[in-house]
Each structure stands twice: as structure tokens, then as C-alpha cells.
Amino acid sequence: MKVLILSCNTGGGHNAAGRALYEEFHRRGIECEFLDTLSFARPKASKKASSIYVNITTKVPKLFQFFYNAGQWISSPHRKSVVYAFNCKYAAKLGDYIEEHQFDTIVMPHLFPAEALTYLKKNRSLHIRTYAVATDYTCIPFWEETNPDYFIIPHRELMREFYRAGIPHEKLIPLGIPVQRTFGVHRNQAEARQTLGLPEDGKMILIMSGSMGFGHIGKIASALKKEYGTRLTLVILCGSNQKVREQLQQKYAQSPNIFIVDYTDQVSLYMDAADILLTKPGGLTSTEAAAKRLPLILTAPIPGCETKNSAFYTRHNMALAPDNTGDYLQAVRTLLDDESIREQMRNAQALYVNPFSASMICEFILEDYNKNFSPEE
């Protein structure tokens, strides 16, 4: 068995899901490679796609919402879209790479490679199994025009939505969104804070805005500082947004209880240290927090898939989702003041989010592989 995981640099969540699966395949001693599918397109295509995505979602989110809604309207299993046409253009190079390196299992936590593999399976004789992995709590537009062997989806409750979009019921496997194993491990809060060099006493609020630094974190931080002063520790993870980080570092240079953190690979440990997390409702970050059983306040969703993520979490009492800065403060007060509400939220997260879904997905793929490939192959 030789696995190729194909993602795309439009948001950090897809890559995080891919890395979680990569980790699990390697844990089992299975040869595995992780690639950006747009590396097979024109030079700098991946960088351009990432830049366009960031600019639209941060500067003109209503335009992103328009495109998302338009995609929902035109999306159909009976015809192919411009998204499919775009991904067909580099499919031949991708197919050559798959054949040259003899991959037999392709895992896709992003729509784009699923589109390219749909084209390849139709137009080229590839002896492979393919698995799409949804990383949002909704069926995003154009999934239904792809043709993997299976769709791994976040929860059984979403099977009807995916089926109504045109995806065959027998292809839907509700195993959850894959997160790295560390998010299923709970370290002692005091130890986590000590390791990170944070105050061990009192309450701590963690603010995240996604790997690209989205969200109105400056406004939220200011409101929390005004409300609580030095009575709690505030840690802000700025992602890759250097501008936001520099602005916050300058603004809070004289605030010893406010910590501004650059892009970090210790998100799991920061979650262990926190009492509450405020974050945009990306599918991966929300799932990581729920896997940690961390009380959650969702902020500033990107219109479309993140709005659906937020709705899923609030519908099942796994998070609060205020509409504005004043409501964020009230949500913080509610969670800080009432342990019973925090406990109810943790219980709901335990009911709806499996922290070890990455392992279960790998086991499912292994079982399916063994059914479809003989030992000689």
C-alpha cells in the first residue's frame, strides 16, 4: 500500500486534516506522501490561489458569500462546473506522478484534488482507490460532481444533506473530521501553562483566528482588556498574519497579562492551558477544540461553510456564537461565571466529536484496500 494525500493551501484546515492522516498512516508503517495538488498546475498557482482566498475572505467576505451561494445554486451532479474544468488542466501531470511513483491510495481533504481525480478516473486507467475527506460540517458546493470511492464526512447527521446534494448514500462514511492525535490527549492545565511560560493562577482566555490571521481579534482583545484588566490572562495566536501580530505587540507591550504569539505548532498545548477559546469557526479549529473538550466561543465566520460550522456547533450546544463584540463579552462572562454551562458544553462536544477520527479513517481505508487489492498486487 502506498498513500498519496493531496490538499491545497486555501486555508490551513485542509492541510491540518491531511497532516493528521499522514501521521496515522506513518504510525502504522505505511508509506505515505503529502502534497499540494496545485503544485502540478502552473508555477506559483498554489501561492496565487492562497492569496486570492485570503484577500477575498478578509477584505470582501460578502463577495466570497456571493460566490459560495452561486456555487450552491449551480452545483449539480448532472453537469460539471468551471471548478472541475480548472482542475482538469493539471490532471495529466498529477496522473503521471501517481503512475510514476505507483500510488494506489489517494486521500483528498480538499475539493480540488477530488475534481482532478474524478477526471483521471474517467479518462485514464489508474488502479487506485480514492477517498474524499470533508473538513466542514456541511456539503460544500461541487463535492457532488466528484467521484471518489468514498466520502468521509464529519457526522452521521450530515448524511442526508450530502445525499440530497447528489452523493450516493453508500459512499458516505461518517467518521468525523481528522485531527492530530495530540488533540485527543489532555495535559494538566498547570503543567501546560508552566511549559508555555504562562501564569499558572487564574483564568486564561485563548484567542485564535485561523492559520492566516482572520477575524476581529484586535477589537475582541481590547474589549476583554477593558472589561477584565489584569484579572485574567489573555493569549492571542495570530497565525501567519504578521501585520496583526505587530500591531497587537505594539498595543499591548505594557500589558504583562496579554501574550501575543506568532504562528506556532503548539496549539494543542495552548488549548490545554486555556479555560475558554474564542476562534473563527473553521472546521478543523472547531474540531480540535471540541476534541480537547474546551469551552468554545465562535467569532467572525467566513460566510458560507464557516456559517454552517457555527450553526452545527451551536445547534448541538458545543459552542456559543455571539453576533458582535458586546455579545462576545457577555458570552465570556457566562462561561467564566458558570461551571455547569462549561460542563454541559464539554459533554456535548464528547457526544458529537470523536478526537480519534483520523485513526478510524485510516483503519477504514486499510480495510477497504485489503478488500480491493490482492496480496500479490
| E strands, 82-163, in order | 105-108, 129-133, 150-153
How many angstroms separate the CA atoms of 68 and 303, rounded?
8
Taken in order of first residue, the domains within the chain and their CATH numbers are 2-179+356-372 (3.40.50.2000), 186-352 (3.40.50.2000)
What are the DSSP calls for 307-330, one per residue?
HHHHHHHHHTTS-B--SSHHHHHH
How many angstroms separate the CA atoms of 327 and 275, rounded?
18
Among residues 207, 210, 177, the alpha carbon closest in space to that of 54 is found at 210
The confidence score (pLDDT) of residue 261 equals 92
The confidence score (pLDDT) of residue 211 equals 47
How many angstroms separate the CA atoms of 316 and 305, rounded?
17
State whether residue 242 is helix, strand or coil. helix
The confidence score (pLDDT) of residue 249 equals 87
Parallel, antiparallel, or unpaired: how do β-strands 258-261 and 276-279 relate?
unpaired
All three cell numbers of 126: 489508474
How many angstroms separate the CA atoms of 202 and 301, rounded?
29
Buried/exposed code over 191-211 (b: 16+ C-beta within 10 A; e: otherwise)? ebbeebebeeeeebbbbbbbb
The confidence score (pLDDT) of residue 162 equals 96
State whether residue 281 is helix, strand or coil. coil
How many angstroms separate the CA atoms of 236 and 246, rounded?
12
Across the strands, what pairs with 152? 133, 173
Task: Give how far Cα 235 sits from Cα of 34, 258, 327, Å.
Answer: 31, 6, 20
State the pTM of this model: 0.90
How many angstroms separate the CA atoms of 348 and 44, rounded?
43
State whether residue 116 is helix, strand or coil. helix
Sheet holding 233-237, edge to edge: 258-261, 233-237, 204-208, 276-279, 296-298
The tens-digit pLDDT sequence of the chain (377 residues) is 999 999 998 778 899 999 999 999 999 999 999 999 999 987 666 666 555 555 555 565 666 565 556 666 566 676 678 888 889 999 999 999 999 999 999 999 999 999 999 999 999 888 899 999 999 999 998 999 999 999 999 999 999 999 999 999 999 999 999 999 999 999 999 999 999 999 999 999 999 975 445 457 778 888 899 999 889 999 999 877 777 888 888 888 889 999 999 889 999 999 999 999 999 899 999 999 999 999 999 987 877 889 999 999 999 999 999 987 779 899 999 999 999 999 999 999 999 999 999 999 999 999 999 998 755 54
Query: Based on C-alpha coordinates, what's the Rg of the chain?
Result: 21
Q: Which residues contact 270 (CB under 8 A, 6 or more apart)?
A: 192, 196, 206, 235, 237, 261, 264
Phi, psi values for residue 173, rounded to 5°:
-120, 105
Phi-psi sector, 213: left (phi>0), alpha (psi -120 to 50), beta: left
The confidence score (pLDDT) of residue 189 equals 97
Among residues 137, 136, 93, the alpha carbon closest in space to that of 113 is found at 93
All three cell numbers of 141: 458546493
